Amino acid sequence: MEPNYFRDVANAKYSKKHDEHIEYGTAGFRTKSNILNHVLYRMGLLAVLRSKAKKGAIGLMITASHNLEPDNGIKLVDPAGEMLEVSWETIATNLANVPDSELASMLIEISTKENIDLSVPATVIIGRDTRISSPILLNAALVGIKTLHGEVTDLGLVTTPQLHYIVVCTNTKGSYGDPTLQGYYLKLTAVFKSIRGNTINNGNYTSTLMLDAANGVGAIAVKELQRHLEGMLDIKLFNDGCGDLNYMCGADFVKVQQALPLNVPSERNVRCVSIDGDADRVVYFYIDKNDKFCLLDGDRIATLVASYFKELLETSGLVLQLGLVQTAYANGGSTDYISNVLKVPVACVQTGVKHLHKKALEFDIGIYFEANGHGTVIFKDTAKEIIKNYTKNKTHSATKKEAATKLRDVIDLINETVGDALSDMLLVETILHAKGWNIIEWQKSYNDLPNKQLKVRVKDRNVITTTNAERYCLTPVGLQNKIDEIVSKYPRGRSFVRPSGTEDIVRVYAECENSSDVDKLAIEVASLVY
Ligand code: 16G
Ligand code: ZN
């Protein structure tokens, strides 16, 4: 190792100015933006080491997703476009919290333990969301990267999924797509247009929708989509960046509050979409003829996609294993529908995209969605190859080949690296168009159980530990028995509590058959946690 390589890492401007312990959680570091400066600097340093360790470009995204404006955060993206490897999450946490005096020695220790060849060149691809604090934090990260002589590609304002896309394209030398924003828009929109053909409307499907962009970076991307899809998809954009980020709008607000976001007009039976502040989550909703708010969340998207893929597999005669991955938050109504009506295997894992992604890799075609609208579909390389060859095989009937061709094309519409609100939306639009469905028909496919989520502030959320994909409480001892007792009083009742990975709170989820009971059930369970 070059002895002087870490010589300049001490930097007074980015020294650690407080003692708050910060953790690399489910989606990276996320907290108040004014205590993140040294963390960003240090993650710049770490990204260089990670790039050298993996001999590939690393992504660094500055965002706090659906959190309000005062927060910010950072996450690192591995070369294949995936979340940072779990063992490096601990390394990141340790590096963020070490005293300044031990920074250099910890970097040396990481390099030695991870066997990093420091002569390997490093590249870090950076993106940021629209928060006021993002440019300052960007500078901190840039200084970190440059201190260790890493190359930087600064993408400016991008959605989180766009960053993931560009990282994977860069590392696969363009075979996944062109590593530019232009490449991203062209890839998604070209296939969207070609699948849709000349029929803009079909059956009860019409091409108009209202989109709430949470006043986030997604609004910029949506404007690009509007340009590319003019005449094909009529997107009416709301919360386009002029208002407060994620404030009473966006996918998280809509999902949790089950209410119309600010500024979106209450028009009956119109298909509406909400994305979150960094555009990796999407939910649909509409106001029905009785002025009731109706939500179509990640579970709905997953079931719609599963039913479409199942249909294409059956029609084409392709034999591939289709599976769906959910979390404990998935509505019991959706799980019943998937298992009993669609008859697609369904797995449940703990919250956080990395867990869903990993499980979905076990299927030839793995669909994963969190109820909050974060999800995608991933295909094994072998499955892609089988589908491609099938479309070329002259012995299959035209109908079979047509279904296989649709399957082949729709793969290009999907951002497999991570849940992508815009790619997911274009997929949903494609499926609704193919089925000739309006949003009411989509909703009729099954009934959600009434459900409620609550946040509880506690002294130490980590006293709650869970198992069985967060559906069962291990500690405090006795809590689970009390939950079971309460739940047993409610027909089709289900409830769980878990510590949040992104906020200093405990989350409570409850569902049951009668909407008049659900608030009571949630409050009863929440009262056990106080
Ligand atoms: C993060 C996760 C999301 C998860 C949420 C749970 C990623 C990219 N994002 O936003 O998947 O649903 O955290 O938050 O993994 P919670 O632990 O606060 O409930
Ligand atoms: Zn997000």
pLDDT value at 3 more than 80: no
Q: Which amino acid is at 527?
A: S
For ligand 1, residues with CB inside 6 Å are: 26-27, 65, 351-353, 370, 372, 374, 500-503, 507
Q: Considering every ligand atom, which ligand is closest to the CA of 327?
A: 1
C-alpha angle with apex 22: 19 to 26, nearest 5 degrees?
Answer: 175
Task: Please answer whether residues 310 and 351 qualify as being in contact, where contact means their C-beta atoms are separated by less than 8 angstroms.
Answer: no
Task: Please answer whether residues 307 and 250 qualify as being in contact, where contact means their C-beta atoms are separated by less than 8 angstroms.
Answer: no
Question: Rounded CA gap, 133 and 432, in Å?
Answer: 39
Please give the distance, rounded to the nearest whole angstrom, from the Cα atom of residue 322 to the centre of ligand 2.
Answer: 26
The predicted-structure confidence for 63-115, as pLDDT tens digits, reads as follows 999 999 999 999 999 999 999 999 999 999 999 999 999 999 999 999 999 99
Task: Please answer whether residues 509 and 329 qualify as being in contact, where contact means their C-beta atoms are separated by less than 8 angstroms.
Answer: yes
Collect contacts of 361-366 with beta carbons under 8 A, ≥24 apart.
362/323, 363/321, 363/322, 363/323, 364/320, 364/321, 364/322, 365/309, 365/320, 365/321, 365/322, 365/323, 366/323, 366/324, 366/325
Question: Best mutation site among 283, 374, 465 for ligand 1, i.e. most ligand atoms within 8 A of its Cβ?
Answer: 374
Please give the distance, rounded to the nearest whole angstrom, from the Cα atom of residue 327 to the centre of ligand 1.
Answer: 11
Q: Considering every ligand atom, which ligand is closest to the CA of 159?
A: 2
The predicted-structure confidence for 472-513, as pLDDT tens digits, reads as follows 999 999 999 999 999 999 999 999 999 998 888 999 999 999
> Which band of pLDDT confidence, cut at 50, 70 and 90, is reported for residue 2?
low
Nearest CA to ligand 1 atom 1: 27
Nearest CA to ligand 1 atom 5: 352
Please give the distance, rounded to the nearest whole angstrom, from the Cα atom of residue 280 to the centre of ligand 2.
Answer: 5
Over residues 389-404, the mean pLDDT reads: 94
Catalytically active residues are: 65
Task: Please answer whether residues 495 and 509 qualify as being in contact, where contact means their C-beta atoms are separated by less than 8 angstroms.
Answer: yes
Nearest CA to ligand 1 atom 19: 500
Pairing mode, strands 272-275 and 208-212: parallel
Over residues 337-349, the mean pLDDT reads: 97
What number does the ligand 1 atom closest to the CA of 419 have?
A: 8
ipTM above 0.90, yes or no: yes
Phi, psi of 384 (to 5 degrees): -60, -40
DSSP structure string for 390-437:
HHH-TTS-HHHHHHHHHHHHHHTTS-TTS--HHHHHHHHHHHHHHHT-
Question: Rounded CA gap, 193 and 189, in Å?
Answer: 6
Q: Which amino acid is at 252?
A: D
Report in angstroms the alpha-carbon separations of 76 from 100, 156, 373: 22, 16, 21
> Max Cα separation, the chain?
72
Please give the distance, rounded to the nearest whole angstrom, from the Cα atom of residue 47 to the centre of ligand 2.
Answer: 21
Task: Please answer whether residues 506 and 454 qualify as being in contact, where contact means their C-beta atoms are separated by less than 8 angstroms.
Answer: no
pLDDT at 236: 98
Question: Rounded CA gap, 29 and 460, in Å?
Answer: 19
What is this structure's pTM?
Answer: 0.95
The average confidence (pLDDT) of the chain is 96
Closest C-alpha to 48, from 102, 118, 127 = 118
Task: Please answer whether residues 387 and 112 qualify as being in contact, where contact means their C-beta atoms are separated by less than 8 angstroms.
Answer: no
